């Protein structure tokens, strides 16, 4: 009986001993989030090669997450962050040492009889600079577009004013307004519509239409109960 218990104990010991995970790794984190793993381990998630599942990006910030909730008899790792990476937050199991070399941050970690966990939040300085430059470019483009639109609007107004002055030379302001209204209406409108649109007294509109008739700018035509005023194209 004792021999059987001893054999069972030894069997469990060897199973636990040989099934324990270990890792001695070097991980290079690329700017695109790819993580190249090299080294020795018996854990299937840490096989050699490039892994993209260890990182993800939120805005300009990157997250590196190595979270294996299984006990390692021992682990050692050396992680090379991307060039110009700036760490804003870090948490880990075991012990870590952070160093910087040639503008690259290197994280060395080790631990025994515990899970392997490392969380690093960082951003790449170039990304932030490029983002700022892009925002400045958009802002300057919008300002330039607004200025161009304003310039074109002012040029169009000036052109219209110049054309009006040349075409209706010798007319008063109200007479020019009547002519412009007729132009916008396709060349003719009722006298009532002109009065309502310009917001002038009927007597004032009547006097100015009579003046335009005498100068030959418009013609008047009676249709039913309405007086139609139309531009005299023969006078152009």
pTM above 0.75, yes or no: no
Task: Please report the pLDDT score of residue 12 as a whole number.
Answer: 53
Strands 104-124 and 188-190, by their bridges, are unpaired
DSSP H helical segments within 105-124, as ranges? none
Give the up-direction half-sphere exposure of residue 188: CA atoms within 13 A in the CB hemisphere: 12
Rounded Cα distance between 206 and 200, Å, is 10
Task: Please report the pLDDT score of residue 137 as a whole number.
Answer: 76
Task: Please report the pLDDT score of residue 145 as a whole number.
Answer: 86
Task: Please report the pLDDT score of residue 235 as a whole number.
Answer: 67
29: part of which helix (H) or strand (E)?
strand 21-29
Q: Which two tokens stand for residue 142?
A: 């919008």
For residue 152, the Cα-to-chain-centroid distance in whole angstroms is: 28
Rounded Cα distance between 188 and 194, Å, is 10
Rounded Cα distance between 71 and 188, Å, is 92
Q: Which residue from 151, 147, 170, 171 is spatially nearest to 159, judged by alpha carbons?
A: 151
Strands (E) in 53-212, as ranges, are: 55-58, 61-80, 85-92, 95-101, 104-124, 188-190
pLDDT in tens, the chain (236 residues): 666 655 655 555 444 445 689 999 999 999 999 999 999 999 999 999 999 999 999 988 999 999 999 999 999 999 999 999 999 999 999 999 999 888 899 999 999 999 999 999 999 987 555 566 667 778 888 888 888 888 787 766 555 555 544 467 788 888 889 999 999 988 899 999 999 998 889 898 999 999 999 988 899 998 888 889 999 887 66
Task: Please report the pLDDT score of residue 16 as a whole number.
Answer: 45
Nearest 10 degrees: Cα torsion 210, 216, 222, 227:
-50
Task: Please report the pLDDT score of residue 98 as a whole number.
Answer: 93
Task: Please report the pLDDT score of residue 127 as a whole number.
Answer: 58
- Tell me how many degrees the CA angle 174-176-177 measures, rounded to the nearest 5: 60
Q: Which residues pair with 131 in a beta bridge?
A: none
Task: Please report the pLDDT score of residue 140 as a whole number.
Answer: 81
Annotate 191-226 with b (16+ C-beta within 10 A) or e (fewer).
Answer: bebbbeebebeeeebeebbebbeeeebbbeeeeeee
Query: What is the set of domains in the chain, with CATH numbers?
Result: 2-129 (2.60.40), 168-235 (1.10.10.10)
Q: Which residue from 190, 187, 185 is spatially nearest to 217, judged by alpha carbons?
A: 187
């Amino acid at each position: 009986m004792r021999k059987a218990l001893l054999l069972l104990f030894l069997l469990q010991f060897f199973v636990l001993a040989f099934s324990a995970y270990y890792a001695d790794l070097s991980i290079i984190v690329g700017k695109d989030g790819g993580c190249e793993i090299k080294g020795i381990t018996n854990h299937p998630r840490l096989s050699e090669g490039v892994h993209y599942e260890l990182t993800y990006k939120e805005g300009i910030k990157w997250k590196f997450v190595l979270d294996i909730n299984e006990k390692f008899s021992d682990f050692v790792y050396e992680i090379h962050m991307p060039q110009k990476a700036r760490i804003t937050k870090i948490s880990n199991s075991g012990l870590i040492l952070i160093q910087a070399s040639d503008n690259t941050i290197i994280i060395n970690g080790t631990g025994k009889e515990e899970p392997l966990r490392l969380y690093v939040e960082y951003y790449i300085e170039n990304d932030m600079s490029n983002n700022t430059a892009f925002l400045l470019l958009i802002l300057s483009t919008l300002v330039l577009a607004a200025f161009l639109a304003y310039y074109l609007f002012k040029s169009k107004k000036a052109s219209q004013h110049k054309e009006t002055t040349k075409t209706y030379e010798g007319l008063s302001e109200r007479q020019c307004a009547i002519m412009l209204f007729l132009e916008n209406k396709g060349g003719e409108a009722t006298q009532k519509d002109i009065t309502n649109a310009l917001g002038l007294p009927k007597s004032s509109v009547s006097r100015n239409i009579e003046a335009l008739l005498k100068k030959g700018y418009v013609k008047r035509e009676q249709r039913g109960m309405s007086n139609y005023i139309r531009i005299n194209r023969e006078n152009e």
